[in-house]
C-alpha cells in the first residue's frame, strides 16, 4: 500500500447513529473523519488510520512551526515538514503524519524537508488499515 507507512495508531470510538463521520483519538487530538474503507464494519477499538485531509492549496508559511489546529467538525489547519511528495499529494508531519491531497498544483519547488501549511476542506478522509487482532481485507486494498 502506497501510504501505509504514514498511518497513525488511533482509538476509534463508538459510531454515532446517523452520522457519516467516525470519531477517533490520535495523540492529543480527537478527529472526526469520513471513513473511506468501509464504515459499515467499523467497530470501536485500536486501529491504524491514514488521515487524508483535502485542501484547495498548500503554501509555504512565513514562520514555520509544526502545529495542527482543529477548526471545525472534520476540518483543520496545519503546518509541518514535508516527508514525501507525489504529484498533487504531499505528506506533512504536523505532529502526526497527514497525507494531504491538494486540488491546486503544489509549489513547484516543494520537496521533502520543506515547510508547508494548509487549511483542509470538510470532511477529513480516513482510511482504516487494521484493528487489534483483526485484519480487514478490502477489494482494492493495495490502492490505498
State the pLDDT confidence band at 82, using cuts at 50, 70 and 90.
very high
The structure's pTM equals 0.88
Residue bearing cell 446517523: 18
Cα 69 from Cα 66, distance rounded (Å): 10
pLDDT tens-digit series, residues 83-139: 999 989 999 999 999 999 999 888 888 999 999 999 999 999 999 986 543 444 444
State the pLDDT confidence band at 49, using cuts at 50, 70 and 90.
very high
Q: In terms of Cα–Cα distance, which of 103, 87, 94 is closest to 31?
A: 94
HSE (side-chain half, CA atoms, 13 Å) at 46: 4
Residues 29 and 83: beta-carbon distance below 8 Å:
no
Number of H helices, E strands in the chain: 0, 10
Amino acid at each position: 500500500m502506497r501510504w501505509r507507512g504514514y498511518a497513525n495508531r488511533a482509538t476509534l470510538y463508538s459510531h454515532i447513529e446517523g452520522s457519516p463521520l467516525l470519531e477517533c483519538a490520535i495523540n492529543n487530538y480527537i478527529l472526526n473523519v469520513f471513513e473511506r474503507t468501509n464504515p459499515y464494519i467499523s467497530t470501536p477499538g485500536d486501529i491504524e488510520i491514514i488521515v487524508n485531509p483535502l485542501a484547495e492549496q498548500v503554501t509555504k508559511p512565513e514562520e514555520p512551526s509544526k502545529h495542527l489546529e482543529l477548526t471545525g467538525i472534520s476540518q483543520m489547519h496545519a503546518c509541518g515538514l514535508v516527508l514525501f511528495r507525489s504529484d498533487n499529494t504531499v505528506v506533512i508531519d504536523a505532529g502526526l503524519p497527514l497525507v494531504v491531497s491538494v486540488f491546486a498544483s503544489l509549489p513547484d519547488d516543494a520537496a521533502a524537508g520543506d515547510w508547508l501549511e494548509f487549511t483542509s476542506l470538510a470532511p477529513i478522509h480516513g482510511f482504516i488499515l487494521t484493528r487489534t487482532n483483526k485484519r480487514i481485507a478490502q477489494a482494492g486494498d493495495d490502492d490505498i
